[in-house]
Amino acid sequence: MISFENTEIAFKSKSNKSLKRAYLLFKIIGNPTMVKIGKVATNTALNLRLPIQGLIKKTIFAQFCGGETIADCKNTIELLGQYGVGTILDYSVEGKTSEEDFDKTVNEIISTIETASKSKNIPFAVFKVSGISRFSILEKANLHADSLNENEKIEYEGIVARINKICNAAFEKNIPVFIDAEESWIQNTIDRITHQMMLIYNKHRAIVYNTVQLYRHDRLVFLEDAINESRLKGYHYGVKLVRGAYMEKERARAKEKGYPSPIQPDKVSSDNDFDKALDLVIRNIDIGAVCAGSHNEKSSLFLTELIKNNKLEKSDKRIYFAQLLGMSEHISYNLSDAGYNVAKYVPYGPVKEVMPYLLRRADENTSVAGQTNRELSLITKEKRRRGI
Ligand SMILES: Cc1cc2nc3c(=O)[nH]c(=O)nc-3n(C[C@H](O)[C@H](O)[C@H](O)COP(=O)(O)OP(=O)(O)OC[C@H]3O[C@@H](n4cnc5c(N)ncnc54)[C@H](O)[C@@H]3O)c2cc1C
């Protein structure tokens, strides 16, 4: 059985300097007061245009991002590739609202697909539907696309056209593309359009992957239905499985608006459904493909066991593990060392514009205290081993 304890393998791509930087960062991130102060100070400094971008670039940005442009990410892509870990270029600019900006983002995503098609180290592309559309339209269309007025319908069709442009480029270049999962009040819209795309592009293999969040109590049934439908209609079902990133927000909104929370009652229920979803997809791998987007050691181990028990190859390209850059190196590198397919999301974009992403990483590591402690204890172990 694979072990995630080997820190020599886990951090083999890290120089002493970057290991020390990671240690310091996780120490700071693990302290809620420091994160609070850091967030206010960073936002204020950026708004006042104080010259702190250099500092951000050398610290938190260097840990969690590949660079400001695709070209900047070259070193990261090569370094990961050297150890058998793939890159998924994630253009992490958020909060845009104009049609012009959305079109620019679409072109940027298509550039990631073109870059992937020329590199053996980039197995997938990825995008967020909210990054190329107005949130309020996605929200309004969530119940049914028919609830939109004439102008909104035109805008909605524009969104479908943009997504189709990306998926078509992915199909033409033979680079599978993940469509990220987002808040439940826009997710029906995302699921609906993703389904449309799968019908077009997944006839022979999974090019378009939906994302299923198992912190939602209704998603296992959703996944089962989706797989059954794809079998019935004869297309491949590609799916990225995640637990889900918007738990607090989901619960707070449900409480505020007085509807039942879509989130599981507890962590164990999310964990159980995540592993059941892995099992379900592996049992249907003949018409599917899966990426386990997780930093959870047990679930990652469970997937290795499923691969073995179902007599599949570790290197079967239909099965991938994925983590975020700068996190859970012990999972990524030990899995890759053992022969499994692994890739990292490599976020990139101008420093100021990827700040929301970086602040979420800080929040996530602060709220999931166990995760930060685990990162710190592994880095400490490796520092000791190296005698630094
Ligand atoms: C490659 C990759 C891609 C991702 N893509 C997406 C995406 O498209 N959409 C998205 O939403 N997220 C995405 N995520 C984030 C992901 O959903 C998780 O937030 C994050 O990875 C932490 O979960 P984990 O599986 O690593 O495991 P763990 O750290 O074991 O689990 C933490 C997660 O469990 C759930 N949880 C925690 N406490 C409770 C509780 N009390 N009750 C119920 N559930 C609980 C929450 O989802 C929490 O984030 C992605 C992550 C990765 C690595």
> How does residue 343 score in pLDDT terms, banded at 50, 70 and 90?
very high
Q: Which domain holds residue 230?
A: 65-354
Contact 113, 125 (CB under 8 A): yes
Which of 44-48, 210-214, 240-244, 266-270 bottoms out in mean pLDDT, i.e. has the lowest? 44-48
What local confidence, expressed as pLDDT, does residue 47 receive? 80
Query: Does residue 50 form part of some domain?
Result: no
Atom from ligand 1 closest to the CA of residue 266: 42
The number of distinct structural domains making up the chain is: 1
Percent of the chain with pLDDT over 90: 81
Residue 340: inside a domain: yes
> Which of ligand 1's atoms lies nearest the C-alpha of 88?
1
From residue 42, alpha-carbon distances to 24, 76, 214, 317, 363 in Å are 17, 25, 33, 41, 14
Instruction: Determine, yes or no, domain membership for 387.
Output: no
Picking from 247, 382, 238, 365, the residue whose alpha carbon sits closest to that of residue 295 is 365
User: Ligand 1 pocket check: which of 212, 242, 264 to mutate, most ligand atoms within 8 Å of Cβ?
Assistant: 242
Ligand 1 within 6 A of CB of 327 = no
Residue 325 lies in a domain: yes
Q: Which two tokens stand for residue 251?
A: 């619960």
Query: For the chain, how big is the Rg over CA atoms in Å?
Result: 20
Mean pLDDT across 180-206:
98
Closest ligand 1 atom number to CA of residue 264: 43
Indicate whether 80 belongs to any domain. yes
Ligand 1 centroid, distance to 204 Cα (angstroms): 30
* 71 CA to centre of ligand 1 in angstroms: 29
Q: Of the ranges 110-124, 161-175, 222-236, 365-379, which one carries the lowest mean pLDDT score?
A: 365-379
Report the half-sphere exposure of 121 (CA within 13 A, side-chain side): 18
Ligand 1 pocket member 277 (CB < 6 A): no
Give the pLDDT band (50/70/90) at residue 202.
very high
Confidence of residue 365 (pLDDT cuts 50, 70, 90): low
Residue 283 has pLDDT above 80, yes or no: yes
Is 364 a residue whose pLDDT tops 80? no
> Would you say residue 32 lies in a domain?
no
Q: Tell me what the pLDDT averaged over the chain comes to.
A: 94
Give Cβ neighbours of residue 146 (< 8 Å, ≥ 6 apart): none
- pLDDT tens column, 29-57: 888 787 778 778 887 887 878 878 888 88
| Whether residue 247 has its Cβ less than 6 Å from ligand 1 | yes
Residue 66: predicted pLDDT: 97
Q: Per the domain annotation, does 37 fall within a domain?
A: no
Task: Tell me the one-letter amino acid at 56.
Answer: I
The burial of 293, by beta-carbon neighbours within 10 Å (0-12 exposed, 13-18 middle, 19 or more buried), is given as buried
**Ligand 1: centre distance to CA 65 (Å):** 19
Is residue 311 in some structural domain? yes
Residue-level pLDDT at 163: 98
Question: What is the pLDDT, as a whole number, of residue 388?
Answer: 94
CATH number for the domain that contains residue 255? 3.20.20.220
How many residues belong to the chain?
A: 388
Residue 12: per-residue pLDDT: 95
Give the model's pLDDT for residue 31: 80
Is the pLDDT reported for residue 321 higher than 70? Answer: yes
Which ligand 1 atom sits nearest the alpha carbon of residue 242? 17
pLDDT at 339: 98
Q: What is the mean pLDDT of residues 135-162?
A: 94
CA of 149 to the centre of ligand 1 (A): 35
